[in-house]
Amino acid sequence: MLFGKTLLITGVSSGIGARTAEFAGQLGADVIGVDVREPSLASMAFIKGDLSSKSGVDEIVAQLPKRFDALCNVAGLSGATGAVGTLSVNFYGLRALSEAVAPRLREGGAIVNVASIAGYGWRANQNRALSMINVEGFPDVAEVVAGHAIQDSESYPVSKELLLLWTFRAAHLERFKSRGIRVNAVSPGPVETPILKQFRAVLGDSRVDSDISAVGRAGTPADIAPVILFLCSDGARWINGANIAADGGLEAAVNAQVLGF
């Protein structure tokens, strides 16, 4: 379903990003990878870049081709580096890259954002999330964090709440909708990646273990990559503004608990 397409994938040096890039190549796509570290996979074009600042995003965009088919926003931080760094990469840098490449995405193309079950609380925190995504451009993130009293310990969930709410909004923004660009999200549960230990440190062992116990096992990058790539394909041409829970049923379990059914 991806034969002949060109995909831009961030976070390709490890975890979900690495498996997504590998699988995309196996499905016939050309891959342009972006990461702060060199990837082990040699069969793709690679741009060394940092999403944590406007200048970093601009440098990445300057090296991209004029046309490609999809953007997979996989890169992200666990929250261990603090609120400013986490929100800079996980939301504001991701959004800036998505907006900047919109003119380069072919009509009918796709943007896929890797969110998380950790962003489940966006409904309860909707006013805060709206306030933070209404800050346009690539803002002074330290100022935004201070203005919304975001603690380091909550920065990862907050970043994913913003990402989910922005995904729903972006699907209907003129810059994307006018060119038929679909914007969707994938929300994994706990996944066996190199930063899972960092998630344990940030979210706590009890939270992570409880989530894993609810569905029987942690996910793997191979569980998530096919969902991301499906959303990039023509097979998903009528899916827009959606969040796919690729979590073994964890969101369903949380819904049952929260809503009491």
Matching residue, tokens 């965009």? 61
Residue 261 in any domain: the answer is no
79-110: pLDDT as tens digits: 999 999 999 999 999 999 999 999 999 999 99
Do 54 and 61 meet the contact criterion of CB atoms below 8 Å apart? Answer: no
Residue 260 in any domain: the answer is no
pLDDT (tens digit, 0 to 9) for every residue of the chain, 261 residues total?
799 999 999 999 999 999 999 999 999 999 999 999 999 888 899 999 999 999 999 999 999 999 999 999 999 999 999 999 999 999 999 999 999 999 999 999 999 999 999 999 999 999 999 999 999 999 999 999 999 999 999 999 999 999 999 999 999 999 999 999 999 999 999 999 888 888 888 778 888 899 999 999 999 999 999 999 999 999 999 999 999 999 999 999 999 999 898
Residue 259 in any domain: the answer is no
Helix axis angle, 155-170 to 196-203, nearest 10°:
110
Record the tokens describing residue 224, joined without a space: 């998530």
Residue 201 in any domain: the answer is yes
Q: Which pLDDT does position 84 carry in this prediction? A: 98
E strands within the chain? 6-10, 30-35, 45-48, 68-73, 105-114, 182-188, 243-246
Residue 1 in any domain: the answer is no
* Whole-angstrom distance, CA of residue 163 vs CA of residue 3: 29
Residue 157 in any domain: the answer is yes
* Total domain count, the chain: 1
Can you give the residue range of the structural domain that contains 243?
A: 6-254
Residue 75 in any domain: the answer is yes
Q: Which pLDDT does position 167 carry in this prediction? A: 98
Of residues 138, 156, 166, 199, which has the active-site annotation? 156
Residue 144 in any domain: the answer is yes
Residues in contact with 202: Cβ distance below 8 Å, sequence separation at least 6, in sequence order: 78, 79, 80, 153, 156
Is residue 156 flagged as an active site residue?
yes
Do 73 and 33 meet the contact criterion of CB atoms below 8 Å apart? Answer: no
Among residues 247, 248, 233, the alpha carbon closest in space to that of 112 is found at 233
Domain with 140 in it: what CATH number? 3.40.50.720
Q: One-letter amino acid identity for 251?
A: E
